[in-house]
Amino acid sequence: MKIYRCACGKRRFYARLDGDILHPVSGSLYGDFSISREQVPLADVRLLAPCRPSKIVAVGLNYRDHAEERGKTLPVEPLLFLKPSSAVIGPYEAIVYPPQSKRVDYEGELALVIGKKASRLSEGTDGYILGYTCMNDVTARDLQDRDVQFTRAKSFDTFAAVGPCVETDLNPDNLRIKTFLNGKLRQSGHTRNLIFTIPFLVRYISHIMTLYPGDVITTGTPAGVGPMTPGDRVDIQIEGIGTLSNTVALPA
């Protein structure tokens, strides 16, 4: 089931997509909910980021080919960093190029959305993952290399593009991830090349911090990261989910 978060005038709502018709969700997406019979044409809404995380937990160097292109040794345990909720934008919103940076990169990634509170999980993740979505883990690469740690380079407003939906019925172990810059293929990876699996990551992170419904874990990027410039368009395509599209802009 594909769940979208939408805006129509002043109204904000979650909805299931059937063809080009949205059926709004009644109740809590993270608890008891039902799908209404109301029909809202997809063309009548603006798509929002499909969740509202308290935090985004990101995993660095989780694809062998990306570690190689960055000249890094393979990690023996997950390399984690946080992105703030203030960085989140949705489909078709602009990624703003900060004046502090001279190089801003795209990073296409598979992300998961937490479905219920998770803390110190011992085994299994059934019921704790609501579903999966696309993410652009935007990175000010020059600042990352200068700072060594990742906080500034990963945390600018608009540096966490998420969407277009949450797919609740998906096997994340066998997915192709593609990133296009202005229509040209720049990244083509596969989740079978993840170093740390998704169930392992959820359990591992839950022993460090409590995960809340709506929180996002983004699982790393394959090889092929590269720079974007104002005026560019980036499309992140993951089979079974869809395409997340954003443009790049200078600050207003």
pLDDT one-digit tens code per residue, 97-153: 999 999 999 999 999 999 999 999 988 788 999 999 999 999 999 999 999 899 999
Clarify whether residues 6 and 27 are in a common domain: yes
User: Whole domain around residue 242: which residue ranges?
Assistant: 49-249
Q: State residue 125's pLDDT score.
A: 85
The CATH number assigned to the domain holding 42 equals 2.30.30.370
- How many structural domains are present in the chain? 2
**Is the pLDDT at 70 greater than 80, yes or no?**
no
Do 33 and 118 fall into the same domain?
A: no
Q: Are residues 18 and 65 in the same domain?
A: no
Q: What is the pLDDT of residue 64?
A: 82
Q: Using an 8 Å Cβ cutoff, are 60 and 79 in contact?
A: yes
**What confidence score (pLDDT) does residue 46 get?**
97
Q: What is the CATH number of the domain that holds 123?
A: 3.90.850.10
Residue 72 pLDDT greater than 80, yes or no: no
Predicted pLDDT of residue 94: 98
- Same domain flag for 63 and 34: no
Both 126 and 151 in a single domain?
A: yes
Asked if 219 contacts 60 with a C-beta cutoff of 8 angstroms, the reply is no
Same domain for 116 and 197, yes or no, is yes
Q: Assess whether 29 and 125 both reside in one domain.
A: no
Q: Are residues 33 and 138 in the same domain?
A: no
Q: Tokens standing for 223?
A: 């090889």
Same domain, 143 and 35: no
Answer yes or no: are the C-beta atoms of 35 and 17 closer than 8 Å: no
Q: What is the DSSP string of 26-73?
A: EE-TTSSEEE-S--EEGGGSEEE-S---S-EEEEES-BHHHHHHTT-P
Residue 192: other Cβ atoms inside 10 A:
9
Question: Same structural domain for residues 174 and 219?
Answer: yes
The pTM of this model reads: 0.95
Supply the pLDDT for residue 68: 79
Contact 140, 101 (CB under 8 A): yes
Nearest to 53 by CA among 24, 30, 21, 27: 30
Asked whether residue 97 falls in the same domain as residue 218, the answer is: yes
Peptide bond into 78 cis (omega under 30): no
The pLDDT of 176-189, averaged and rounded, is 97
pLDDT at residue number 96:
98
Share of the chain above pLDDT 90, in %: 89
Query: Does 132 lie in the same domain as 72?
Result: yes
